[in-house]
Structure 1
């Protein structure tokens, strides 16, 4: 298994080199300080999910492009092979990294009781598809709260700020598919 810090560090460094971006330019694009970006790129800092989303959105990358090893093809994925992204009461398992040809990425997400995750707007025109596999999930989109229960699905335009909450006493487990136009 690979260390998520090293994967993120390599992907940021590769992206900066490919696009000839300074830390200052990346900082302005992402809203993450140059010092923090430097620490992340060196593999010395374990960024929060919120920080990862800021970096991904600022660099116009999907979360999985930032947090996954580059694989050409995937035939079978076992959860034990995935490097989870863990932040407080939220865990994300990037099952299918972003593919330029298919324009989507897919995650399994788990939010522990009383857990919450805020998300900045994703790329313009992006959509998110949620299927709740266990528990109950609240999603706030554009100041409206929706409750999605076990075996229910929800789709929304994710190019606006949104948040996920688990107000129940059991872990909410759901599948999230991000589609980028």
Structure 2
């Protein structure tokens, strides 16, 4: 059975909200995403941006890949979140409870910049540049990485990525959720 990408994310959001016994209003307060937008996402009427989906995951204290479970369970694992011009994200390894990690492949269009709000305390990101060159933002400063370059940082602060070339840039993003993060869904 095939499932629409937006519907799959919406189903996971509704499940998370139901499991926490949160109204749309309460979910909105925890995620910083409007009640109307959350409702549209749940109904599959709106495709969340990567940034918005991160806000939702952070507010629910969930790993990002939680929202891709229904997609991958329905043979759409090659699907990418392409809801924003300039960035796509695909899951390489879904969240693993034992290692408390997940791995994504991000592709940035030429000269695209992506800023991420702080994640929950204890979230650590590692990035490995696979193709092209990027810069990453930490402490309001951009730092350069070429192909093969790596970095590890605490993601509980504003951070970002930008492609500084005229060609696409691809990097793997390994996200660790330390024991400070409690997953309730």
TM-score by length of 1: 0.91
For residues 1-181 of structure 1, what are the structure 2 equivalents within 5 Å? Answer: 2-69=3-70, 81-86=77-82, 87-181=84-178
Unaligned runs of 5+ in 1: 73-77
Aligned residues of 2:8 and 2:71 also touching (Cα < 8 A): no
The whole-number CA distance in structure 1 between the counterparts of 2:161 and 2:5 is 23
TM-superposed CA distance for 1:69, in Å, is 2.3
Give the count of matched residue pairs.
175
TM-superposed CA distance for 1:67, in Å, is 2.7
Residue of structure 1 equivalent to 2:183 = none
| Structure 2 SS opposite 1:11 | helix
Unaligned runs of 5+ in 2: 179-185
The whole-number CA distance in structure 2 between the counterparts of 1:137 and 1:94 is 20
Residue of structure 1 equivalent to 2:181 = none
RMSD over aligned Cα, in angstroms?
1.8
TM-superposed CA distance for 1:157, in Å, is 1.0
The whole-number CA distance in structure 2 between the counterparts of 1:145 and 1:121 is 16
| Structure 2 SS opposite 1:175 | strand
TM-score by length of 2: 0.89
Summarize deviations over 1:129-179 as a string: whole Å, max 9, x none.
111011001100121211110111111111111011012111111111001
Aligned residues of 1:2 and 1:83 also touching (Cα < 8 A): no
The whole-number CA distance in structure 2 between the counterparts of 1:164 and 1:98 is 22
Question: Any runs of at least 4 consecutive aligned residues in structure 1 with deviations exceeding 4 A, and if so which?
Answer: none
